[in-house]
């Protein structure tokens, strides 16, 4: 009986760990893997901007830049310009990824995620 209980508990542990890995598809950022994390942030930004999910896109920026963007949002024309500037076509996105790979893009590791730190 004791062996059956141990086997049951062990099987339950394996199933619950497996379920955690399959249901939590969120990217795990690492401060030491900056390029990969920054590219992931850029990919998310492109997707959000393409889908006009501006609030989600703004969350990908550093807290300081979010404050700047909130000021920009107060002027409809300026915000349209900001949206235009951060909505990448394929060619511009590849340029931005190249900029990230050459460490010329401005990011900060903030709240356990790579955040864009430029206007």
Give a yes or no: residue 43 inside a domain: yes
pLDDT over threshold 50, residue 21:
no
Give a yes or no: residue 24 inside a domain: no
User: What H or E segment, with its residue span, contains residue 115?
Assistant: strand 113-116
Give a yes or no: residue 5 inside a domain: no
Give a yes or no: residue 8 inside a domain: no
Give a yes or no: residue 20 inside a domain: no
Give a yes or no: residue 72 inside a domain: yes
Give a yes or no: residue 88 inside a domain: yes
How many structural domains comprise the chain?
A: 1
d(C-alpha 101, C-alpha 39), whole Å:
8
Domain with 45, as residue range(s), is: 29-116
Residues 31 and 109 sit within 8 Å (Cβ to Cβ): yes
Give a yes or no: residue 17 inside a domain: no
pLDDT over threshold 60, residue 12:
no
pLDDT over threshold 50, residue 13:
no
Max CA-CA distance within the chain? 72
Residue 26: pLDDT band (50, 70, 90) is confident
For residue range 37-73, list pLDDT tens digits in order. 999 999 999 999 999 999 999 999 999 999 999 999 9
């Amino acid at each position: 009986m004791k062996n059956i209980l141990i086997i049951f508990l062990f099987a339950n542990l394996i199933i619950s760990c497996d379920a955690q890995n399959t249901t939590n598809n969120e990217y795990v950022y690492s401060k030491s893997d900056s390029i990969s994390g920054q590219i992931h942030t850029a990919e998310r930004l492109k997707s959000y901007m393409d889908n006009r999910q501006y609030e989600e896109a703004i969350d990908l920026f550093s807290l300081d830049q979010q404050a700047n963007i909130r000021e920009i949002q107060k002027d409809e024309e300026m915000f349209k310009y900001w949206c235009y500037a951060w909505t990448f076509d394929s060619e511009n996105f590849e340029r931005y990824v190249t900029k990230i790979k050459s460490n010329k893009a401005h990011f900060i590791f903030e709240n356990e995620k790579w955040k864009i730190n430029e206007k």
